[in-house]
Amino acid sequence: MKQFKIFFAVAVLILALAPVGAQDVTTVSMWFSEGSTLDCWGPLMLEFNEVDPSIQLEIVPQADTWNVTRTAVAGGGGPDIVRTPGPSFVYEMAQAGLILPMDAFADEMGWGDFFFDWALDLGLVDGQLYSLSDELETLVMYYNVEVFEEHGWTPPDTMDELNALAEEVEAAGLTVFSHGNASWRPTNEHFVGEYWTQVAGPHKVYQALSGEIPWTDESLVEAIELLDAHMQAGWYGGGVDLYFTNDGVYRRTSLAEGSAAMNIEGSWAIRGTVDYFGESGQTWDWVPVPSHDGTDYFTIGMGNTSSINANSPHPEAAAQFLTWYFSPETQGKMLTNCLKGPAPVAIGEDVLGALDPRIARIYAALSDASANDRYGYTTWTFWPPKSDVYIYEEIERVWTGEITAMEYSQGLQELFAEELEAGDIPPIPTR
């Protein structure tokens, strides 16, 4: 009888307390890819739980986050915060009514105060804000300082200087660019986008993206021809066939150990570069990717976006988390601690000052370029999905000699025109 009384008392207590707990705490869920990124980002993001105990962030690790997320969201479930791989993916979800417009939250929570204007525009679909861009990216040319010093080379500013330098690098028995796509085939598109920007110029690319000129424009085709010529010359990884079999480890080690001189890669590669050079004991640095006329152009890209699930039972709480997450303070902390590409928000100079000066210089240069009309466009952020896949898949047919640069450009033009007509082009910052 005594045992029964104790059991009864405990049961009543649990029943009495449970609803109180459930009412007081709102859980905001977020799905995130498993791995080293989450290991570093996770604890920092969970610091949000100390800000307001009534809203708790729950991070659920997933193996294939994007595909799992879109399947779940389409089925009426999924996390409160929906992360996509880029603005072009947001368009489809917004059209399907799977994510919420966030204009009211933006006004209420002052997102415009810390986001760059053009960055908020990237999240617009039919004039409404559906996503916030994260992980600002650009591509630069990393190089091995010891290798350059040993041979008395200076980093090139122009394509002509790059040509001259590449001959010397090859004569020294080194690979010009430590590259390959065996680990990530869309790597191809990095070079297509860079050559368009650096050879034809970002204004031409903007005109083509806006549909004012075709992708078969002489200067754009010339860029593809030049890329192909460099590929055929074996600059990328030592040869076309080797490029197709070189993996990410090769890319990092060959540059860090000095068997390759340079590497055109994204700002997202900083962390790997720091680690591999740390192991080899050599020194890295970077310069802007050489351009035709020597102007420092920087392509802008976004690694992913965040939106609020239309099925979220508490979008207000999700918006509060986004406000905290995208604040310059949180972004600065994640940049400093994890070398995470920051969201396009105004990060304080004190934060950049605490970084390795080479890393801080990348973001300062990118900021300067975007303020002075020297920014370009990364293909995965500003091209519609079909054209984007075409860009990195079909360029291989140019490199293997199956089609010409002009045929490649004609194919892209046909596909792009279809997507342009269908209105599938992601928002492009106007110049």
Binding footprint of another protein on the chain (CB under 8 A): 67, 70, 74, 92-93, 95-98, 181-182, 185, 239-245, 247, 250, 385-386, 389, 393, 396-397, 399-400, 402
Min dist CB 90 to another protein, Å, is 10
* Beta-sheet pairing, 26-33 with 55-62: parallel
Beta carbon nearer to another protein, 22 or 96:
96
Beta carbon nearer to another protein, 82 or 355:
82
Question: What are the angstrom distances between the C-alpha of 251 and each of 176, 259, 304, 329, 386?
Answer: 12, 10, 24, 33, 28
Beta carbon nearer to another protein, 58 or 402:
402
Beta carbon nearer to another protein, 151 or 397:
397
Beta carbon nearer to another protein, 54 or 67:
67
Beta carbon nearer to another protein, 254 or 370:
254
Min dist CB 185 to another protein, Å, is 5
Beta carbon nearer to another protein, 285 or 414:
414
Contact present, 288 and 298 (Cβ < 8 Å): yes
Min dist CB 297 to another protein, Å, is 27
Min dist CB 381 to another protein, Å, is 15
Min dist CB 16 to another protein, Å, is 41
In the chain, the N- to C-terminal Cα span, in Å, equals: 81
Q: How far apart are CA 174 and CA 370, in angstroms?
A: 34
Beta carbon nearer to another protein, 358 or 397:
397
Min dist CB 46 to another protein, Å, is 30
* Beta carbons within 8 Å of 271's beta carbon, 6+ residues apart: 338, 339
Min dist CB 93 to another protein, Å, is 6
Min dist CB 243 to another protein, Å, is 7
Hey, which bits of 179-297 come out as E strands?
260-266, 284-287
Min dist CB 153 to another protein, Å, is 24
Q: How far apart are CA 116 and CA 425, in angstroms?
A: 21
* Beta-sheet pairing, 132-137 with 298-308: antiparallel
Among 182, 240, 192, 215, which Cα is nearest to 391's? 192
Tokens 């500003």: give the residue. Answer: 382
* Buried residues in 325-344 as b, exposed as e (16+ CB within 10 A): bbbbebbbbbbbebbbbbbb
DSSP string, 271-321: HHHHHHHHHHT--EEEEPPPBSSS---EEEEEEEEEEEBTT-S-HHHHHHH
SS3 for 268? helix
Q: How far apart are CA 297 and CA 358, in angstroms?
A: 17
Beta carbon nearer to another protein, 254 or 331:
254
Strand partners, 30: 59, 81
